[in-house]
């Protein structure tokens, strides 16, 4: 296995002030060049020559190939890469915890809950109308029941849609 010319690049993203490293390896099927960032590398094992990551679809041949770090690359680079990977993982977990705490009272979750409650009320009204229609033999009650379910479903879908839109906007 040949050693890539420049196995590691240090890439400073000054916009977000995120320090990430890029490693290169080759697809095991087509030998096409692959690049991956330290924060996306998930170590899955190693042998004498390589530290293996996870399977990714090759951008050249589309087959699932495993990414890896060359142990023959300068050891300082390998260490720095893995260190950066660990630090980005800690950052990720920290950010996820923070967003979890923030998400406790998020409006989109409340909207979704409200939609479910309205839908449930509609279903209960439908059951009540079936009961009334049967006991009073007045079929008109069924129309009221269907209207209640229809209304509940519309509100449910509307609220759910709003919640998804807010989520999408938040992720940007
Ligand atoms: Zn390939």
Q: DSSP of 99-148, one letter per residue?
A: HHHHGGG-HHHHHHHHHHHHHHHHHHHHHHHHHHHHHH--THHHHHHHHH
Token code pair at residue 26: 């080759």
More confident residue, 1 or 92: 92
d(CA 59, ligand 1 centre) in Å: 7
Q: What angle do CA 6, 41, 49 make, to 5 degrees?
A: 55
pLDDT digits (tens, 9 = 90+) for 58-79: 999 999 999 999 877 677 788 8
Helices (H) and strands (E) in the chain, counts: 3, 6
d(CA 4, ligand 1 centre) in Å: 16
Nearest-angstrom CA–CA distance, 13 and 19: 6
pLDDT digits (tens, 9 = 90+) for 112-139: 999 999 999 999 999 999 999 999 888 8
pTM as predicted: 0.45
pLDDT band with cut points at 50, 70 and 90 for residue 155: very high
Nearest-angstrom CA–CA distance, 54 and 40: 9
Q: Give the pLDDT of residue 13.
A: 47
Query: Which residue ranges make up each domain of the chain?
Result: 8-102, 106-171
d(CA 32, ligand 1 centre) in Å: 5
d(CA 66, ligand 1 centre) in Å: 10
């Amino acid at each position: 296995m040949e050693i890539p010319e420049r196995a590691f690049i240090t890439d400073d993203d000054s916009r977000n002030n995120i320090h990430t490293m890029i490693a290169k390896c080759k697809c095991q099927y087509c030998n096409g060049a692959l690049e991956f960032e330290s924060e996306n590398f998930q170590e899955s094992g190693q042998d004498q020559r390589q530290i293996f990551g996870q399977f990714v679809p090759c951008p050249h041949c589309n087959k699932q190939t495993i990414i890896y770090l060359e142990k023959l690359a300068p050891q300082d680079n390998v260490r720095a890469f893995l260190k950066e990977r660990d630090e980005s993982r800690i950052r990720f977990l920290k950010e996820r915890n923070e967003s979890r705490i923030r998400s406790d009272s998020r409006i989109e979750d409340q909207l979704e809950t409200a939609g479910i409650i309205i839908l449930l009320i509609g279903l209960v009204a439908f059951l009540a109308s079936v009961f009334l229609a049967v006991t009073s033999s007045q079929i008109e009650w069924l129309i009221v029941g269907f209207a209640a379910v229809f209304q509940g479903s519309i509100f449910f879908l509307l609220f759910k849609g709003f919640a998804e839109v807010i989520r999408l906007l938040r992720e940007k």
